[in-house]
Chains A and B, each alone.
Chain A
Amino acid sequence: MIRSIGIVGAGVAGWMAALALRRALPGARISVIETEGPDWSLGPFGPGEASLPGLESWLADHGVEEGALLRAARGGFSLGTAFSGWAGQEADWFLPFGTIGAPIGTVAFHQLAARLRAAGHPLRLADFSLAAIAAASGRFARPSPDPRSVLSSYGYGLHFARAGLAEVLRLASGLATAGRFRRALGDAGITAIEIEDGAQVSADLWLDCSGPAALLAGRLDSGWESWSEWLPCDRAVESWNEVEGVPPPYAHAGAFEGGWQRTVPLVGGQSGALLYASAFLAEQPGAVPIAQGRRTRAWTGNVVALGAAAALVEPLHGHNLALLQNALTRLISLLPTAPDGPEPAEYNRLTASEADRVRDFAILHYKTNGRAGDPLWDQARAMPVPETLAHKLDLYASRGRLPVYDEELFDPEEWIAVLDGQGVRPRRHDALADAIPEPQLRAHASRIREVIVDAVRGMPHHGATLREEGLLA
């Protein structure tokens, strides 16, 4: 039975963990211990962070008011991510938060789209997504709860400064830090942490939220699986850029010869992260090395590694917060009850498989890139990929089908949006799509477009929504 929990790292991961466990185990003593340096608990990927849809309900369940969070963290809303330079040096596409098109019966929209393309009607999937069209026109309103409305066909993420997010999570937890980390004690497991005044903090269970440094998990035999053979970026440079005006309601990932640049727009500025492969680009000022991969056993002994201490994967999407959120939910449902119980094994099985699926999703962006002539990208296109991803790519290329494994963070629709955006075209489409007469298909597609364009026309501008909620002067 867990009576006390120690958390090392007082950043986003540490405070999110503190809040979640405070709720789950109101009787337990929770000690949060600060560490040196910037908050890299989710990785050194910029002072701003982005979430996927789903965080807002977690926040609400944990007593964090969305408006208060955004005000404290210069935040805004997100409808997806714009990708430029990935499908080709001059090609852009958009990954929206929400559905794309609508099926006819059991025939998926991308199968209908493939049939239309085969019949000589070119189209772009994102043009059938409300989130994508609204993002392109700078509009945002929260989705409608009415499932019959097209305004319920999308979700939203949040953009925020990580310092503001950490502070709001801390306030909600009602805790203060117990001191500053000096060193960890114990050999086989962690017996205590010595803090700067020389005092020792003890706990039954330790959460390592110290980022890539992995101050606790790194001392134990927790193993590390490197993904560097598939994800070539091994340097990151964080930046902050003051900007006036209304932040766009989407993040941006722009590929270039040596890597890519992430931009998360906030009120008053842009959070940036430059990710590049040191073999292909000269050392950049301010660069820190990153090692992408995951811990073999995120839970080892009495230490559970969370956030970037457990897995480091480049932030193409807002998955780092989502992985943390899922890890906390999983940990709470598997809190240890007895010595040598089965909980760590099950936790590690689920955590590893979820991380590996996100790894596959990240590799997908490299493997299917269309930047011919850039050595980094040519190599990435030619590389062998993990079998799980190869199977997906084969099936998709064959007929647009996408097998779904257990513990997938991303939906098939999101995989398809990336594949289609990158220009991967299945050789065939489903036979059932051929059973639908072509005029009916064309009418179906036009009607979806009309309904979406009409709905977007009625949506407020992102700036108007931010102003209305007091998030923008």
Chain B
Amino acid sequence: MLVGRILVVGGGTAGWMAAAALTHKFAGTKLAITLIESAEIGTVGVGEATIPHIRHFNATLGIDEADFLAATKGTYKLGIEFVDWGRKGDSYIHPFAQFGDPVDGVPFHHQWLATEGAGAFEDYSLPIQAARRGRFRRPEGDPYNYAYQFDAGLYARYLRTYAEARGVVRREGKVVDVALDGESGFVRSVTLESGETIEADLFVDCSGFRGLLIEQALHTGYEEWTHWLPCDRAIAIPCANSGPLAPLTRAAAKQAGWCWRIPLQHRTGNGHVYSSGFLGDDEALEVLLEQLPAEPLADPNKLRFVTGKRRKQWVGNTVAIGLSSGFLEPLESTSIHLIQVAIGKLLDLFPTGDWDPLDAAEFNRAMALEYERVRDFLILHYHATERDDSEFWRHCRNMILPDSLAYKLQLFRERGVVVQYREGTFLEPSWLAVYLGQHVTPRHPDPRAGGQGVAAALAAMRAEIAAAAEAMPRHETALGMGA
């Protein structure tokens, strides 16, 4: 059975990203792509902030940046500001760039650790210095990277236009039944409320948390990670913009979770991610509202989730992408990224018609690794804290870490070495930003660090970065928004 018909179940960001990428890659072939969505079912769209990989996704599709930003009310993003995480009163930024340059062949952070009076670690990051000043310029070459913040609903609509113009057929309707093949267990067809049945060869489940195909029809099972990441609720609410437009996403730790703030061109997205085991829903709403920078523009939208991932994300002829495949809170803006990774791997391993189980096995192996590595990075934010002001933080400080993370943390704490691996979303600079931003200070830096002339080299680096940041235009100007 050759794959001739693909059915994407569910619109939203995941569904339209998948449909757009598939139709682009298979342009000029006979592959028929249909997407079913229902106007009655809302989309979650928590992930309005992204990481730089999204630029590659858009570029591959041939999407023009200015056009995309205008259509999605998007802004530039140089990193995430973490407030009150390691200690109350803290603020550090995780940028998409490395810090400083090595001196005498010794990694920069060791030189910085070994040098008295070297200032703040963030003085050595151009994107952080630009972000602190509300400035932005697109990098020439790659001294740093950047991402976007945008309205996920508008992005889905934008990709819908893109996909429909390239042959994707959109069907309005609600799926009420799923038919499986008695012998292979493959999904054969779905039936809509109207009674119409749609068959396909490959099903992409973008139906959100409930996993219409992957879970409700195929009973794949779910691996929970709530013992490491205890947050299980979120409340989202948009408000008006106030003050300069930050080229940053903000994540402020609260007594039992954290609040996000995502500046868009026309409004600011806000939300509170919290643990219902430590905080009531009404209190959580209060926490969110009291830190809103301006008047709310809508009623609060309440969400429940279970952190973890589907045991398998590709089963038979069904591939789960987006929330149907798992959920990791958007602390590091990875929701859209995980969608993108899944789409990329699906394209790489696109079924050839004989349904070799190795394709699914490799997809599941690679996605599991991706999820686990993001998971470990998220846990670090909660665990590496000195906060003692609530039951929630005491729980996080004392939790038993996954072995993979415990090892990483110990190696950095003792020796300042970041464990490297080939595949994974967050590499050394990201780990450094969080470790040092949350006071995980190595007991013993590199013994080669701190030689003669290092202090002068660091001073020159800082001065150069400050001057370069100062010379950038304001974020609003870079977006062509006038004032």
Measured CB to CB, the residues of A under 8 A from B are 1-2, 23-25, 106, 332-335, 337-338, 341-343, 346, 394-395, 398-399, 401, 403-408, 427-432, 434-435, 437
Complex contacts, B349 vs chain A, CB 8 Å: 399, 401
- Which listed residue (B354, B444, B446) contacts A338, Cβ 8 A? B444
- Which listed residue (B351, B352, B422, B448) contacts A25, Cβ 8 A? B448
Asked whether, in the complex, the Cβ of B414 is within 8 Å of the Cβ of A406, the reply is: no
Q: How many A-B residue pairs have CB under 8 A?
A: 89
- Name the residue on A nearest B413 (C-beta): A342
Asked whether, in the complex, the Cβ of B446 is within 8 Å of the Cβ of A335, the reply is: yes
Complex contacts, A394 vs chain B, CB 8 Å: 358
Name the interface residues of B343-366: CB closer than 8 Å to any CB of A: 347-352, 354, 356, 358-359, 362, 365-366
- Name the residue on B nearest A429 (C-beta): B352
- Name the residue on A nearest B357 (C-beta): A398
- Name the residue on B nearest A350 (C-beta): B420
Q: Closest 9 CB pairs between A and B?
A: A337-B444, A431-B350, A398-B358, A428-B352, A342-B414, A406-B421, A406-B422, A435-B29, A398-B356
Selected A-B contacts with CB under 8 Å, 7 pairs: A333-B446, A395-B358, A398-B358, A401-B349, A406-B421, A430-B352, A435-B29
- Which listed residue (A25, A333, A399, A428) contacts B417, Cβ 8 A? A333
Given the known A-B contacts A106-B347, A401-B349, A431-B352, are A341 and B414 also in contact in the complex, defined by CB atoms under 8 Å? yes
Complex contacts, B366 vs chain A, CB 8 Å: 403
Given the known A-B contacts A398-B356, A399-B356, A428-B356, are A341 and B28 also in contact in the complex, defined by CB atoms under 8 Å? no
Instruction: Tell yes or no: B53 within 8 A of A by CB.
Output: no
Given the known A-B contacts A401-B348, A403-B362, are A408 and B443 also in contact in the complex, defined by CB atoms under 8 Å? no
Given the known A-B contacts A1-B447, A337-B444, A346-B411, are A428 and B358 also in contact in the complex, defined by CB atoms under 8 Å? no
Complex contacts, A434 vs chain B, CB 8 Å: 29
Measured CB to CB, the residues of B under 8 A from A are 3, 25-29, 60, 105, 107, 347-352, 354, 356, 358-359, 362, 365-366, 410-411, 414-415, 417, 419-423, 443-448
Q: Give chain B nearest CB distance to A82 CB in angstroms.
A: 30
CA–CA, A435 and B443, complex, Å: 55
CA–CA, A341 and B417, complex, Å: 12
Asked whether, in the complex, the Cβ of B422 is within 8 Å of the Cβ of A343, the reply is: no
Asked whether, in the complex, the Cβ of A24 is within 8 Å of the Cβ of B444, the reply is: no
Complex contacts, A24 vs chain B, CB 8 Å: 105, 448
CA–CA, A25 and B450, complex, Å: 12
Q: Give chain B nearest CB distance to A299 CB in angstroms.
A: 14
Q: Give chain B nearest CB distance to A44 CB in angstroms.
A: 33
Complex contacts, A437 vs chain B, CB 8 Å: 28
Complex contacts, B359 vs chain A, CB 8 Å: 398-399
- Which listed residue (A338, A403, A404, A432) contacts B347, Cβ 8 A? A432
Asked whether, in the complex, the Cβ of A435 is within 8 Å of the Cβ of B362, the reply is: no
CA–CA, A191 and B33, complex, Å: 71
Complex contacts, A341 vs chain B, CB 8 Å: 414-415, 444
Complex contacts, A395 vs chain B, CB 8 Å: 358, 362
CA–CA, A470 and B107, complex, Å: 38
Complex contacts, B419 vs chain A, CB 8 Å: 346
CA–CA, A341 and B443, complex, Å: 10
CA–CA, A343 and B359, complex, Å: 38
- Which listed residue (A23, A404, A435) contacts B25, Cβ 8 A? A435
Q: Which of A406, A407, A437 has the most CB of B within 10 A?
A: A406
CA–CA, A428 and B422, complex, Å: 27
CA–CA, A181 and B354, complex, Å: 64
Complex contacts, B25 vs chain A, CB 8 Å: 432, 435
Complex contacts, B3 vs chain A, CB 8 Å: 431
Complex contacts, B444 vs chain A, CB 8 Å: 337-338, 341
Known contacts A333-B107, A406-B421, A435-B26, then 20 further A-B pairs from the complex at CB < 8 Å, ordered by chain A residue: A333-B417, A333-B446, A334-B417, A337-B446, A338-B444, A342-B415, A346-B419, A398-B356, A399-B349, A403-B362, A403-B365, A405-B422, A406-B423, A408-B422, A429-B352, A431-B351, A432-B347, A434-B29, A435-B28, A435-B29
Complex contacts, B443 vs chain A, CB 8 Å: 338
CA–CA, A59 and B352, complex, Å: 47
CA–CA, A395 and B349, complex, Å: 11
CA–CA, A405 and B27, complex, Å: 33
- Name the residue on B nearest A394 (C-beta): B358
Q: Give chain A nearest CB distance to B27 CB in angstroms.
A: 8
- Name the residue on A nearest B443 (C-beta): A338
- Name the residue on A nearest B445 (C-beta): A337
Complex contacts, A337 vs chain B, CB 8 Å: 415, 444-447
Complex contacts, A25 vs chain B, CB 8 Å: 447-448
CA–CA, A346 and B348, complex, Å: 33
Complex contacts, B105 vs chain A, CB 8 Å: 23-24
Q: Give chain A nearest CB distance to B410 CB in angstroms.
A: 6
- Name the residue on B nearest A337 (C-beta): B444
CA–CA, A435 and B105, complex, Å: 47
- Name the residue on A nearest B366 (C-beta): A403
- Which listed residue (A334, A398, A427, A429) contacts B415, Cβ 8 A? A334
Complex contacts, A23 vs chain B, CB 8 Å: 105
Complex contacts, B351 vs chain A, CB 8 Å: 431
CA–CA, A435 and B29, complex, Å: 6
CA–CA, A408 and B421, complex, Å: 10
